[in-house]
A and B are shown apart, each in its own frame.
Chain A
Amino acid sequence: MQQLSLLLTSLPDGILLGFVYGLAAMGLTLIWGVMNVINLSHGPIIALGMFGTFFLFIRLGLNPYFGLFVIALLGLLLGILIYAAAVHRVINAPHLSSLLATFSVNMIIIGLGTAIFTTSPYNVDFNMGSFQIGSVTLLGTRLIAALVAILYTGALYLFLYKTRPGKYIRAVANNRAAAELMGIPSTRILALSFGLGTMLAAVSGALIATFFPFNILSGGSYELKSFVIGVLGGLGNPIGALLGGLILGILEGIIPAFMETSWVPAIEFALFVAILLVRPTGLFGAKR
């Protein structure tokens, strides 16, 4: 009985969080799927999104949800910059080169972030109230974060499948040389894709900051979750990433009702390995 009431509080929370995990993972899997680069600076970029909310809200007094637009734009530009500075040169090199390049970016952001912000926790004191449905309480900030994540997923899906630049991204992901032959400037498209990937990471961080304290290292755990979700949902597929995030969120909602919370990562990564062994293409049948 006690477990049931625990479940009733943790499961809805887990589900709402799951959507935000999905959004973060979308950023990782978009880049991975389009250019076969595993972006190891994903975590710190999520953390930068968190600091973005902090500065826009605490220092400039901008509403965090309005600030999302600013953070999205900055995230896009940062991604294009990272692509041009660190990724472009090694895009055709073996995987190890791009791993090292994005890992360097990861270290640079963490180093600068630690120097500037220290590693003590920051907190955005922002309250959107809560909603009571029966015996279930939903925090306003989490509910809105989940809705924003769903909106972004829908928007990304429409962008990739219905617009010209989106189709160019899919074409370059599918066959870069052929895309060039069709007149598609593939380097610009790759830079745009990387920008979109970091934009999604930054926005997810901005949303997480509205309900969890954070520091410059906080992105790391979301980066790891993004890997698990990428494997669950397949690469470069926004809907798959959202569903993968939801599965992870549900697990995180259920596990604490039956065992210590510290078991959560162990179970998540056991799942990760199991899926890699059994269905390496992802649960929702994406490519590769």
Chain B
Amino acid sequence: MALLEINDLSSGYGELQILWGAGLRLESGKLTALVGSNGAGKTTLLRTLMGLVRPWGGAISFDGQTITSLSAHAKADLGLALVPEGRQLFTDMTVYENLELGAAAQRGRPHFKRNIERVFEILPRLKERVNQKAGTMSGGEQQMLAVARGIMAEPRILMFDELSLGLSPILTLSLFETLRKLKSEGLTMLLVEQNVHMALAVSDYAFVLSEGRVTIEGEARALAQNPEVRKAYLGI
């Protein structure tokens, strides 16, 4: 059984419907990708999944429990963590405080010590910056902090929204290397990316979102060879 399952999810903003019955599954221990072009509804799907946008219809179940309309903080307490688009750091607070807040959810609190050491080991740059205000760091460092904050939650599922957006290729590679490390530790992850090529290269399974619906799904390797995907998203 899938760890997280979304069925027939619809939602939007005001009068504007963005999701039209989207569905996906996250298998335990796997890295799943959700790809699609700009405006397909990827971010809305994540925001609805996390409870920042109210679902209009459909169901979300996590570990056998229905969590469709829970508030965002309740979902965070269950172990769903999102590294949001545009990082959304606490820019007026220090790096250390951001990490502390990352561990604010129920699962993160008891493991604070272990996780902060782990984060400093994986992303040593942050250790040099602990007392600096998050908003004063470079874009790349801020993205590292956003990822680190996600790890601090001791999540059962860690989700990334546009991890690579605006980062240099070198930094993107190193962050994807971090994902690989987390995956080897058995963490379930969802990677939402416009960078389809990159996403398919690192993930196990992938869903393609188009105009608010999932149109194609399959093993990431197979999708990378799928002529339709190649034509529409890889530009080949």
**A133 adjacent to chain B (CB < 8 Å):** no
- Say whether, besides A167-B100, A167-B101, A181 and B72 are in contact (CB < 8 Å): yes
Binds A, one of B2-10, B87-95, B192-200: B87-95
Number of A interface residues in the complex (CB < 8 A): 18
Nearest chain A CB to B48 CB, angstrom units: 13
A182 engages B91 (CB within 8 Å):
no
Q: Report which residue of B77, B89, B92 has the largest number of chain A beta carbons within 10 angstroms of its beta carbon.
A: B92
B227 smallest CB distance to A (angstroms): 38
A183 to B70, CA, bound (A): 12
Complex CA distance for A34 and B92, rounded to whole angstroms: 13
In the complex where A175-B88, A177-B88 touch, is A182 in contact with B104 (Cβ < 8 A)? yes
Q: Which residue of B71, B73, B91 contacts A174 across the interface (Cβ within 8 Å)?
A: B91
Select which of B50, B92, B100 is within 8 A of A181 by beta carbon: B50
Whether A183 contacts B52 in the complex (CB less than 8 A), given A167-B97, A174-B92, A287-B92, comes out as no
Q: Quick check: B84 and A178 within 8 Å, CB to CB?
A: yes
Asked, given contacts A167-B97, A171-B101, whether A180 binds B73 with beta carbons under 8 Å apart, the answer is: yes
Cβ of A21 to closest chain B Cβ, rounded Å: 26
Q: Does A186 contact B (CB under 8 A)?
A: yes
**Do residues A182 and B52 form an inter-chain contact, with CB atoms below 8 A?**
no
Contacting pair A178 B89 (CB below 8 A): yes
Binary interface profile of A, 241-282, with partner B (CB < 8 Å = 1, else 0)?
000000000000000000000000000000000000000000
- The answer to whether A180 touches B72, judged by C-beta atoms less than 8 angstroms apart, is yes
* Residues of chain B contacted by A150 (CB below 8 angstroms): none
Alpha-carbon separation in the docked complex, A185 to B81 (Å): 15
Q: With A177-B52, A178-B84 as given contacts, are A183 and B104 in contact (CB-CB < 8 Å)? A: yes
B90 interface neighbour in A170, A183, A287, Cβ under 8 Å:
A170
B interface secondary structure, majority: loop
Chain B 60-94 against A: per-residue CB contact (8 Å), 1 yes, 0 no? 00000000000111001100011010001111110
B72 touches A171 (CB 8 A): no
Q: Which residues of A contact B73 (CB under 8 A)?
A: 180, 182-186
* Interface membership of B105, Cβ < 8 A: yes
In the bound assembly, the distance between CA atoms of A186 and B105 in angstroms comes to 12
What residues of A have a CB within 8 angstroms of the CB of B97 in the complex?
A: 167, 170
Q: Residue B149 at the A interface, CB < 8 A?
A: yes
B residues near A184, Cβ cutoff 8 Å: 73, 101, 104
Nearest B-chain residue to A172, judged by Cβ: B90
Q: In angstroms, how far is the closest chain A Cβ from the Cβ of B8? A: 24
Q: Are B76 and A180 in contact (CB under 8 A)?
A: yes
Point out which of B76, B91, B105, B153 has the most chain A C-beta atoms below 10 A from its C-beta.
B76
A168 contacts the other chain (CB 8 A): yes
Q: Is A179 an interface residue (CB 8 A)?
A: yes
Candidates B51, B92, B149; contact of A182 at CB < 8 Å: B149
Docked-complex contact B93 and A181, CB < 8 angstroms: no
Whether A183 pairs with B105 at a CB distance below 8 angstroms is yes
Max count, chain B CB within 10 A of own CB: residue among A171, A178, A180: A178
B102 lies within 8 A of chain A by Cβ: yes
- Interface flags, A141-173, vs B, CB<8A=1, else 0: 000000000000000000000001001101100
Contacts of A177 in B (CB 8 A): 52, 72, 84, 88
B88: chain A residues at CB < 8 Å are: 175, 177-178, 181
Determine how close the nearest CB of chain B comes to the CB of A93; give it in whole angstroms.
14
Within 8 A of A (CB), among B184-218: none
- B68: min CB distance to chain A, Å: 17
A185 to B105, CA, bound (A): 10
Q: Does residue B106 face the partner (Cβ distance < 8 Å to A)?
A: yes
Chain A residues, CB < 8 A from B101: 167-168, 171, 179, 182, 184
CB–CB B102/A182 < 8 A: yes
CB distance from B161 to the nearest CB of A (A): 11
Would you list 28 pairs from A and B whose C-beta atoms are within 8 A, ordered by A residue? A164-B104, A167-B93, A167-B97, A168-B101, A170-B90, A171-B104, A174-B90, A175-B89, A177-B52, A177-B72, A177-B88, A178-B88, A178-B90, A179-B90, A181-B52, A181-B72, A181-B82, A182-B73, A182-B104, A182-B105, A183-B73, A183-B76, A183-B77, A183-B104, A183-B106, A184-B73, A186-B73, A287-B92
